[in-house]
Amino acid sequence: MADEVLLLDFWSSPYGMRLRVALAEKGIQYEYREEDLSNKSALLLQSNPVHKKIPVLIHNGKPVSESLVALQYIDEVWKDKTPLLPSDPYLRAQARFWADFVDKKVSELGRVVRTTKGEEQEAAKKEFLESIGLLEGELGDKPYFGGETLGFVDVALIPFYSWFYVYEKCGNFSIEAEQPKFYAWAKRCMQKESVSKSLADQKAIYDLHLQRMKARGMDQ
């Protein structure tokens, strides 16, 4: 029986982009279903009753929630196709550590940069760039975090490239100028079709961000 793979997602979600990149890297055919986040579908609420959030990967009727969990699931189920996690247990643990770091630092600090002003924004921007610097150190001289090929950390991190323009416009800074090595890594990833075709357009995301801020009565 052929695998039935369904992804409940929203186009601008960096967490959903992770799964889109992973599925593309492994050549897995799937159905993409865009969710209306202001009117979530019964299937989404049923599939992720705890958090009620996208993305949700549904594989042969079984839902998997939380993007890093679903990313590991994809890698384990289709392990014979372009593995994302290394086979060595220690290296696997390190990859999971840095992917978690992306969620706790890059994602969270990026959110603060794009939604605040003044001292709070400046502090978040400083810590954001410091976090990018730590990731640069982990990358070292490798083309990808996974070594010669795209790995787990690359897939966890590269979707935030779609949000770089938002961070830069809101925070009035340049990631490329501040962290050129990191930016070069992002550009390298974007040369891969599995990445470039899975990530949302930066300007479209910025327009969405402005709409959301305006709806909340917050000017940028």
Range of the domain at 63: 5-77
CB atoms within 10 A of CB 113: 27
Helix axes 14-25, 67-77, angle to 10 degrees: 10
For residues 189 and 126, membership in a common domain is answered with yes
* Model pLDDT, residue 213: 87
Q: How long, in residues, is the chain?
A: 220
| 22, 155 Cβ separation under 8 angstroms | yes
147: left (phi over 0), alpha (psi -120 to 50) or beta: left
| Structure confidence by residue, pLDDT tens digits, 166-191 | 999 999 999 999 999 999 999 999 99
Q: Is residue 21 part of a domain?
A: yes
As given in the structure block, the two tokens for residue 184 are 């070069």
For residues 57 and 153, membership in a common domain is answered with no
For residues 112 and 51, membership in a common domain is answered with no
* Model pLDDT, residue 218: 66
Q: Is residue 83 part of a domain?
A: no
Give the domain-ending residue among 15, 45, 77.
77
For residues 118 and 206, membership in a common domain is answered with yes
* Model pLDDT, residue 211: 92
For residues 104 and 201, membership in a common domain is answered with yes
Q: Is residue 47 part of a domain?
A: yes
Q: Is residue 160 part of a domain?
A: yes
Count of structural domains, the chain: 2
* Model pLDDT, residue 219: 63
Average pLDDT over residues 83-102: 97
For residues 149 and 175, membership in a common domain is answered with yes
* Model pLDDT, residue 56: 98
Give the domain-ending residue among 28, 44, 77.
77
Q: Is residue 100 part of a domain?
A: yes
For residues 116 and 140, membership in a common domain is answered with yes
Query: What is the pTM assigned to this prediction?
Result: 0.95
Give the domain-ending residue among 36, 54, 77.
77
**Mean pLDDT over all residues of the chain?**
95
| Structure confidence by residue, pLDDT tens digits, 98-125 | 999 999 999 999 999 999 999 999 999 9
Asked if the model's pLDDT at residue 1 lies above 60, the reply is no
Q: Is residue 84 part of a domain?
A: no
CA-based nearest residue to 135, from 86, 98, 100, 165: 98
CATH number, domain containing residue 183: 1.20.1050.10
CA-based nearest residue to 15, from 45, 44, 56: 56
Q: Is residue 152 part of a domain?
A: yes
E strands, the chain, where? Answer: 5-9, 31-34, 56-59, 62-65
For residues 135 and 63, membership in a common domain is answered with no
CATH number, domain containing residue 42: 3.40.30.10
Q: Is residue 82 part of a domain?
A: no
| 113, 170 Cβ separation under 8 angstroms | yes
For residues 104 and 153, membership in a common domain is answered with yes
* Model pLDDT, residue 216: 77
Helix axes 180-190, 118-139, angle to 10 degrees: 70
For residues 205 and 126, membership in a common domain is answered with yes
